[in-house]
Structure 1
Amino acid sequence: MTLLLAPMEGLLDATLRDVLTRTGGIDRCVSEFIRVTQTLLPERAFLRVVPELLHGGRTRAGVPVRPQLLGSDPVCLAENAARLAGLSPFGVDLNFGCPAKTVNQSRGGAVLLDEPELIGRIVAAVRRAVPAQVPVSAKMRLGFNDDHRAEDCAHAIAEAGADELVIHARTKAHGYRPPAYWERIAQVRASLPAGARITVIANGDIWNVADAERCRAVTGCDALMIGRGMVTDPGLALAIKGLGGVPWQQIPPLLLAFWQQVSVRVERRHRAGRLKQWLNYLRQRYPQAQAAFDELRLVHEPAAIESWLQASQIRPPITTEPIPALPAELAHSC
């Protein structure tokens, strides 16, 4: 089974990708989106979001990362995809699923699901713009306000030459409220021509092994994308693959590794918030994370958090390699 780590804007960035892929089980990541408007972005714009491109396009654990582009202009997206391809990425992904209001108001993300013809032109333009050996994939929701054009969008993406299609089993109107409508993924997948060479990947509400098994059974997809479930339980990918999981004893070293990178890449005033953001997810899985969250909830001083994390170490860190800093011109805040 292939497991992908989802893009999650404002949460699952290069730092958390690095830490989560150390635990094992993830086969590939998709980056948070790189917004494309009316300009040809400089290389540093891609590297800022996907610093892994400076290291062969892989996380420290060796997991490939596929950069994701978001926009609505086929020509501009194609030009940017061509420039991105020059950095030797593990493919180019296109965002047709972001539900954020500000993104949709700028004609990006899920709002394009009402325009399958435009989606097809975008995918086709990007496919033509990058070398044949560079995979092109897309991520979509079932629709914007409803799902009546889900099949049209999937057909447009497949016919335009995409290699993979991730379907999040909700519309924009559904947001992230449960349930995820996995049966609709099955229907969309079944509607594709028998000779279609596109791989459909299921996404949405996969929180544990039982969810993964049911999602596969309902959708018929052999590949899954997991996001919030993996942030909550860093051992989820291993567990889905029948390789155990990650006990709490392995979490403190991950928190410290996360903090060390946050301390390099994030403005001082935002660092505590980033750690608490992850702990807020972890406490859904680990009682010890709840205790940690309670202890640190009112702590804002980075030095105090660093001391707490150092004291919490109960086994050697998973890796003792130094954390490389980004070049100064690429460092960015949360």
Structure 2
Amino acid sequence: MPRLILAPMQGLLDHLLRDALTRIDGYSHCVTEFARVTGSILPRSFYHRISPELARGGRTEAGTAVRVQMLGSDPDMMAANARVLASLAPPGIDLNFGCPAPTVNRHRGGAVLLEEPELLYRIAAAVRAEVPPTIPFSAKMRLGLHDSSLARECAQALEAGGVEELAVHARTRDQGYQPPAHWREIAPIREAVAIPVVANGDVWTVEDWLRCREESGCEDVMLGRSAVADPLLARRIQALARGEAIRPQEEEWLEVLALIARFWQGVGVRYEAKKRPGRLKQWLMLLERTFPQARELCAAVKLLREASEVEAVLARWPGFPSGL
């Protein structure tokens, strides 16, 4: 069966959302938000903060493995931090060479390093030396910084450094998240290396998944914003791959409401009251893309500032699970 991987998304896909999304079967594993490595060694508590799943063997409550992602440009510091992280026995360690955020890039992190294949190799090799072979070691990159001229060289450098699997977001740094994703440009990268390559970018529907696999030549696909906007997309894709019937989206809203309820409960534990409404609204605004019902719910809570007010709306909402 083709694998689906839940992408890391900084500032959005934290452990609460991972918990909700992986309750719908379909993902082989997911990846955390990045741990930013600069000039110091992060404490073990930091990794537990970005991946509380480490306390459960590195898995969500539904049992999906969670790889922890690192971002940085100093091979020695990346290695020192990888040593600490590896001691926590995560289900995998991932390197970030895809973040397009200007603040991150200005401090020599993420996609800006795609101009320096030799540095990619040194970072990967330094981290690989500290990661036992029992821990999967992967990386994520974009097509390049300004263009894709160094894409194959970057992929080969990471492979030579010991990376065992490579996810490629089918845009350059300069292209950001602007449609379309250029899946065809992943194909030469896949052909240039012997390790598995995972295609990523703009897979919003089952039809997108089919076209992405055809154009990139990749068996496996990583879902990002689409997974948040449509929590049941992974299940639909897996059903298609098994030759099963796909349920209409309009029949799935009650399942989504159950996921929202689970998420809201977690937000109530994790965040102080004044921040809880914002976390819910953030997800609802993405769900609007797929579910008209989410648009109605978002409109009902968007002007509310108090968690108690939001909770009162949810308690009255048709189909919303009771017992909050």
TM range (shorter): over 0.9
* Alignment-derived partner of residue 330 in structure 1: none
Provide the rounded CA distance (Å) in 2 between the counterparts of 1:310 and 1:4: 33
Contact 2:277/2:306, CA 8 A, preserved across alignment: yes
Q: Deviations over 1:55-74 (max 9, x none)?
A: 11000100000000000011
Q: What is the distance in 2 between the residues matched to 1:135 and 1:250?
A: 32
Judge conservation of contact 1:253–1:313 (CA < 8 Å) in 2: no
Q: Is the 8 A contact 2:314 2:320 kept in 1?
A: no
For the residue of structure 2 that corresponds to 1:129, the secondary structure is coil
TM-score, structure 2 normalization: 0.94
* Matches for 1:54-133 after TM superposition, within 5 Å: 54-133=55-134
Distance 1:147 1:219 in 2: 14
The question of whether the paired residues in 1 share the 8 Å contact of 2:168 and 2:186 is answered with yes
Corresponding position of 1:209: 206
TM-score where L is the length of structure 1 = 0.91
Counterpart in 1 of 2:277?
272
- CA deviation profile, 1:94-122 (whole Å, cap 9, x unmatched): 00000001100110000100011000100
* Long gaps (5+) in structure 2: none
Amino acid at match of 2:278: G
Q: Residue by residue, what CA displacement relative to the aligned partner does 1:249-278 show, whole Å, maximum 9, x if unpaired?
A: 112221111111111112322211110110
Q: Which residue of 2 aligns with 1:312?
A: 317
The Cα shift of 1:132 comes to 1.4
**What does the per-residue CA deviation read over 1:204-249, in whole Å, with 9 as the maximum and x for residues that have no partner?**
0000000001111111111110011110111000001116456001
Distance 1:132 1:77 in 2: 17
Q: 2:168 maps to what in 1?
A: 167
Displacement, 1:156?
A: 0.2
Q: Which residue matches 2:225? A: 228
* Equivalent position of 2:262 in the other structure: 257
> Secondary structure of 1:31's partner?
strand
**Aligned residues of 1:200 and 1:223 also touching (Cα < 8 A):** yes
Residues in 1 aligned to 2:279 and 2:142: alpha-carbon distance in whole angstroms: 27
The 3-state SS of whatever aligns with 2:129 is: helix
Give 1:27's aligned residue.
Answer: 28
Identity of aligned residues (%): 51
Counterpart secondary structure, 1:141 = strand
Runs of 4 or more, structure 1, over 4 Å off, are none
Aligned length: 315
Cα displacement string for residues 149-204 of structure 1 (whole angstroms, at most 9, x for unaligned residues): 11110010111111100000000100000110111100111123xxx2x1100000
Displacement of 1:282 in angstroms is 0.5
Q: What is the CA-CA distance between 1:316 and the residue it aligns to?
A: 5.0
2:288 aligned residue: 283
Amino acid at match of 2:86: A
SS in 1 for 2:60: coil
What's the CA shift for 1:36? 0.6
- Residue aligned with 1:165, SS: strand
DSSP-derived class of the 2:12 partner: coil
Mapped partners of 2:59, 2:318: distance in 1: 27
Q: SS where residue 158 of structure 1 aligns?
A: helix
The AA in structure 2 aligned to 1:251 is V
Q: Is the 8 A contact 1:252 1:313 kept in 2?
A: no
Q: Which amino acid aligns with 1:266?
A: Y
SS in structure 1 opposite 2:214? helix
The AA in structure 1 aligned to 2:316 is A
Gaps of 5+ in 1: 323-334
Whole-angstrom CA distance in 1 between matches of 2:321 and 2:311: 16
Give the SS at the match of 2:141.
strand
User: What is the distance in 2 between the residues matched to 1:263 and 1:315?
Assistant: 16
Please state how far the C-alpha of 1:312 moved relative to its aligned partner: 2.3
- For 1:160, the aligned partner's letter is G
